[in-house]
Amino acid sequence: MRILAVDPGSKHIGLAMSDPTGTIANPLVVLNHVARQLDATAVVELANANGTGLIVVGQSLDEDGNPTFEGRQAVRFAEALKTQTSLPVIFWDESFSTQEARAARIAMGVSRKNRQGHLDSMAATVLLQSYLDANPQK
């Protein structure tokens, strides 16, 4: 089963997709944020086009495990997704996924100049791989 990860942001929405076995996460695309309902429609269309069986939405949590401001925004985005699809939509802690994506680019030897720009699809990939590692597919 393919799994779609969503890293919602105020400007961009990073998406990553698992391989068909649900083992390896790969960057998919970065969408520009327009409006919550329109963004949700675009995500659902991509999920349907790729044969997705599950949507994982990144939610940032504070040190006490409560949603941050961005985490509460993710809840509203997930609710918009649920109104447009019958696919299961779940949350996964995305805290530090952007920092991990940045570190991964450095580890891959990407030059400082080429590391500029948004990391949204890489952050979604980190988020999804974290989910896949914790929930191996049967």
Name which of 117, 101, 7 is nearest 59 in CA terms.
7
* Cα 91 to Cα 78, 88, 109, distances in angstroms: 8, 10, 31
Which residues on adjacent β-strands are paired with residue 56?
Answer: 5, 90
The whole-number pLDDT of residue 62 equals 86
The DSSP line for 115-130 is G-S--HHHHHHHHHHH
Name which of 126, 116, 125, 98 is nearest 15 in CA terms.
125
CA distance linking residue 68 with residue 70, whole number of Å: 5
3-state secondary structure of 136: coil
The whole-number pLDDT of residue 61 equals 87
Number of domains within the chain: 1
CA distance linking residue 2 with residue 15, whole number of Å: 13
Residue 110's CATH number: 3.30.420.140
The whole-number pLDDT of residue 79 equals 98
The whole-number pLDDT of residue 106 equals 57
Under 8 Å between Cβ of 13 and 28:
no
C-alpha 56, offset from chain centre: 7
Note down the domain range covering 46.
Answer: 2-134
Place of tokens 């790969």: 26
The whole-number pLDDT of residue 115 equals 45
- Which stretches of the chain drop beneath a pLDDT of 70? 95-119, 138
